[in-house]
């Protein structure tokens, strides 16, 4: 079966972002970008399924500006087979991404779509669930273990209070949690090879999807800062301060 892995280009996880002074958004000019960490885990899981003989081809999809092609190349360098870039300017919301992915699923007919559980920029945690809904496929969200067996996939999920295992009829949608795997690094020869792998381009219009945002972002501001704290010298002094503050 084919596996589709959607990946998103986001601000690098280690960057401390800055809110624009005019409250119009977050400063993205000249900021280091990278593949969303959860998506790296999704690519890695797809590769492992292919290496275990459970998958035949891995197709990486990204929705965004032309620069998102770099993120697809990263996934190809990790070992994915080919890429599809859906070129869209501006903000594309999870619902629109889910609709675009649905159109690509209709064309490629994968057995599994593996997404990250959330993107670390908008922190929405929606796209995988929405895609599953639109396809009327089962969903295995927040996966920490994925086992494909025949027409089923068994997904162990990280839930509040522990782990839950569900069995899903294929085709299915899985979203990855952090502990699913440790993504590999792309080696230099593989980075070179990835440049020759196929990367198709399409657009929301060509896929028949209206990607206009539904939500209006009124403003973006800095979170309220915390008052500077004090350092105490001993455990006894700390206890006294906490008693004064009324929290113990």
Partner 1 sequence: MATLIIAEHNDAHLNDATAKTLTAALALGQPVDILVAGKQAKAAADAAAQLSGVRSVLLADGDSLAERRAEPLADLVLSLAGKYDAILAPATSTGKNVAPRVAALLDVMQISEITKVVAPDTFERPIYAGNAIETVQTSDKTLVATVRIAAFAAAATGGNAPVETIAAPADSGLSSFVGADLSVSDRPELASARVIVSGGRALGSADKFQEVIAPLADQLKAAIGASRAAVDAGYAANDLQVGQTGKVVAPELYIAIGISGAIQHLAGMKDSKVIVAINKDGDAPIFQVADYGLVDDLFTVVPALTKALAN
Site for partner 1 in 81-140 (CB under 8 A): 93-95, 98, 117-118, 120-134, 136-140
242 binds partner 1 (CB under 8 A): yes
Between 144 and 190, whose beta carbon lies closer to partner 1?
144
Between 43 and 168, whose beta carbon lies closer to partner 1?
168
Total of residues contacting partner 1 (CB under 8 A): 80
Between 89 and 160, whose beta carbon lies closer to partner 1?
160
Site for partner 1 in 53-92 (CB under 8 A): none
Task: Give the residue, chosen from 31, 66, 106, 169, that forms a contact with partner 1 under the rule CB under 8 A.
Answer: 169
- φ and ψ at residue 166, rounded to 5 degrees: -125, 155
199 binds partner 1 (CB under 8 A): no
Smallest separation, CB 181 to partner 1 (Å): 12
CA 185 to chain centre: 17
Which of these ranges, 70-78, 83-91, 107-115, 217-225, lies near partner 1 under the rule CB under 8 A?
A: 217-225
Between 161 and 189, whose beta carbon lies closer to partner 1?
161
Type and span of the H or E element at 143: strand 139-149
Between 19 and 65, whose beta carbon lies closer to partner 1?
19
Within 10 angstroms of residue 197's Cβ, the number of other Cβ atoms is: 17
**Reduced 3-state DSSP string for 98-139:** HHHHHHHHHHHCCCEEEEECCCCCCCCCCHHHHHHHHHCCCE
214 binds partner 1 (CB under 8 A): yes
Query: By three-state DSSP, how is residue 142 classified?
Result: strand
* Residue 173 near residue 138 (C-beta atoms within 8 A): yes
Smallest separation, CB 89 to partner 1 (Å): 18
Type and span of the H or E element at 68: helix 68-78
How far apart, in whole angstroms, are the C-alpha atoms of residue 93 and residue 95? 6
247 binds partner 1 (CB under 8 A): yes
CA atoms within 13 A on the CB side of 3: 27
Between 14 and 89, whose beta carbon lies closer to partner 1?
14
Site for partner 1 in 10-29 (CB under 8 A): 11, 13, 16-17, 19, 26
Query: By three-state DSSP, how is residue 187 classified?
Result: coil
216 binds partner 1 (CB under 8 A): yes
Task: Give the residue, chosen from 91, 144, 145, 197, that forms a contact with partner 1 under the rule CB under 8 A.
Answer: 144
Smallest separation, CB 193 to partner 1 (Å): 31
Angle 37-51/68-78 helices, nearest 10 degrees?
30
Ramachandran assignment for 64, one of left (phi > 0), alpha (psi -120 to 50 degrees), beta (any other)? left
């Amino acid at each position: 079966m084919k596996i589709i892995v959607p990946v998103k280009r986001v601000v690098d996880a280690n960057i401390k972002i800055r809110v624009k002074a005019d409250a119009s958004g977050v400063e993205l000019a000249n900021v280091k970008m990278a593949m969303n960490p959860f998506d790296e885990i999704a690519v890695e899981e797809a590769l492992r399924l292919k290496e275990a003989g459970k998958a035949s081809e891995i197709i990486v999809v990204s929705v965004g500006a032309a620069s998102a092609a770099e993120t697809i190349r990263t996934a190809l360098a990790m070992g994915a087979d080919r890429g599809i870039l859906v070129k869209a300017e501006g903000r594309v919301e999870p619902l629109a991404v889910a609709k675009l992915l649905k159109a690509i699923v209709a064309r490629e007919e994968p057995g599994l779509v593996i997404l990250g559980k959330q993107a670390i920029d908008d922190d929405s945690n929606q796209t995988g669930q929405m895609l599953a809904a639109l396809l009327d496929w089962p969903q295995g969200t927040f996966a920490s273990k994925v086992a494909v067996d025949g027409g089923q996939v068994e997904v162990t999920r990280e839930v509040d209070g522990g782990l839950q295992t569900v069995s899903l009829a294929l085709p299915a949608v899985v979203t990855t949690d952090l502990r699913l795997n440790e993504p590999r690094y792309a080696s230099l020869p593989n980075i070179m090879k990835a440049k020759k792998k196929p990367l198709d381009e399409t657009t929301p219009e060509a896929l028949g999807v209206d990607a206009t945002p539904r939500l209006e972002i009124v403003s973006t501001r800095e979170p309220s800062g915390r008052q500077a704290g004090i350092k105490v010298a001993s455990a006894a002094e700390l206890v006294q301060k906490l008693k004064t503050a009324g929290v113990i």
